[in-house]
């Protein structure tokens, strides 16, 4: 059977820092720190909602994280500015290595899936805007089971949707919590360490492999 490769979307295929240009128009030099806090809170809210079993979709987590970040930095955003920032999340750019690496994997007959906390519609829109939707066999969203990574149920849902087994499946992610979640469910997992400053969580759990760019992926999984 062909290898099934599931790619995390936000932060792995799609650069969440792409929102910086919109933020810079509003707050100038505070934009990088604002963007980082917004992203951290977005993930924190998904973790908390998953644990509490008080599900709201990822777009709600994103909007509420924006409200928190605005309050934290004492920056008042107009309704128009908020809407503009949230809209920018729908058309974030892909990283430079994405198209070439996915094309190479497709040519090797791998089955490629986008696997995300985002709703299927949000991911579909995002991948279309980035010009890479045609490279995927399908989209698997945790929204289907109303939970978030790294709940083990979402990785079992991935296997069910793709019809693959854990030993035939790779999770590709730049998020250590996602990699650990996949390893915990017996999938193979590649950590994309895009920055040398990024630290993998010291839990005594290691990625199957670590790569700096997606272009190195075919060497490890094909």
Q: Where residue 46 sits, what CATH number does that domain have?
A: 1.10.150.240
User: Residue 185: CB partners within 8 Å, gap ≥ 6?
Assistant: 152, 155, 156, 166
Q: Are residues 47 and 11 in the same domain?
A: no
Q: Is the pLDDT of residue 41 over 90?
A: yes
Q: Are residues 114 and 212 in the same domain?
A: yes
Q: Are residues 9 and 109 in the same domain?
A: yes
**Across residues 148-167, what is the average pLDDT?**
97
Q: Are residues 83 and 152 in the same domain?
A: no
Domain limits for position 33: 16-88
Q: Is the pLDDT of residue 1 over 70?
A: no
Task: Say how far residue 147 (Cα) sits from the centre of its chain.
Answer: 15
Is 8 one of the catalytic residues? yes
Query: How does the average pLDDT of the chain come out, rounded?
Result: 96
Q: Are residues 11 and 22 in the same domain?
A: no
The overall pTM is greater than 0.85: yes
User: In what side-by-side order are the strands of the sheet with 188-192?
Assistant: 138-141, 111-116, 4-7, 169-173, 188-192, 209-211
pLDDT of residue 2: 80
Q: Are residues 147 and 206 in the same domain?
A: yes
pLDDT of residue 133: 97
The domain tally of the chain equals 2
**Across residues 144-162, what is the average pLDDT?**
97
pLDDT of residue 66: 98
Q: Are residues 128 and 210 in the same domain?
A: yes
């Amino acid at each position: 059977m062909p290898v099934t490769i599931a790619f995390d979307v936000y932060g792995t295929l799609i650069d969440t820092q792409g929102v910086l240009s919109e933020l810079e128009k509003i707050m100038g030099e505070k934009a990088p720190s604002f963007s980082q806090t917004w992203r951290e809170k977005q993930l924190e809210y998904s973790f908390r909602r998953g644990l509490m079993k008080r599900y709201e979709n990822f777009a709600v987590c994103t909007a509420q994280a924006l409200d928190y970040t605005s309050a934290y930095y004492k920056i008042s955003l107009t309704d128009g500015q908020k809407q503009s920032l949230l809209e920018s999340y729908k058309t974030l750019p892909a990283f430079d290595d994405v198209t070439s690496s996915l094309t190479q994997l497709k040519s090797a007959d791998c089955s490629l899936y986008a696997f995300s906390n985002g709703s299927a519609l949000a991911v579909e829109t995002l991948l279309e805007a980035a010009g890479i939707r045609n490279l995927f066999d399908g989209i698997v969203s945790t929204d289907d089971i109303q939970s978030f990574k790294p709940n083990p149920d979402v990785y079992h849902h991935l296997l069910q949707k793709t019809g693959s087994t854990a030993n035939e499946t790779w999770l590709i992610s730049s998020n250590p919590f996602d990699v650990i979640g996949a390893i915990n469910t017996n999938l193979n997992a590649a950590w994309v360490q895009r920055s040398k400053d990024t630290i993998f969580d010291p839990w005594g759990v290691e990625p199957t492999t670590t790569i700096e760019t997606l272009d190195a992926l075919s060497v490890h999984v094909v």
